[in-house]
Structure 1
């Protein structure tokens, strides 16, 4: 039995790998909720609440990726702008 947070992370990872999108599709998450065992392990878990947690995880990952890419671009720009020593 997985923890609920592990199911959320699995769903976010799987969704992004399958679709490449950050906006969660309601049909996709409903299928995942039923087929992955979330409903079996957590019978009182609400689909809407679970969907909200997965969307939040996707948003956090998107923000992290944006910050990381900005950091890397800044690093590249600094490297390119440095004058070369003779």
Structure 2
């Protein structure tokens, strides 16, 4: 799932990570491996956000999914694995008009 700038901002206010900018040289390779997503990186690895059940009232939410884990203590290399659901649910809110 590709997130708008507003949804990236909301996600980062609820999930301690960094967003990998779309113009980063690694993004085309990540898109080739994992599909077209907004990617986040934290001390546990590489993540995306996928749609989840809306909150009461219909407010859109997303589930943080881990796609890769750091393979070394210096966090210089990622090891991809089967998508792993985390317990992190973020409130995405409505898209701005």
TM superposition score category, shorter chain reference: under 0.3
Q: 1 or 2 for the larger relative contact order (CA 8 Å, sep ≥6)?
A: 1
Larger Rg: 1
Normalising by structure 1, report the TM-score.
0.25
Which has the larger share of helix?
1
Higher strand share: 2
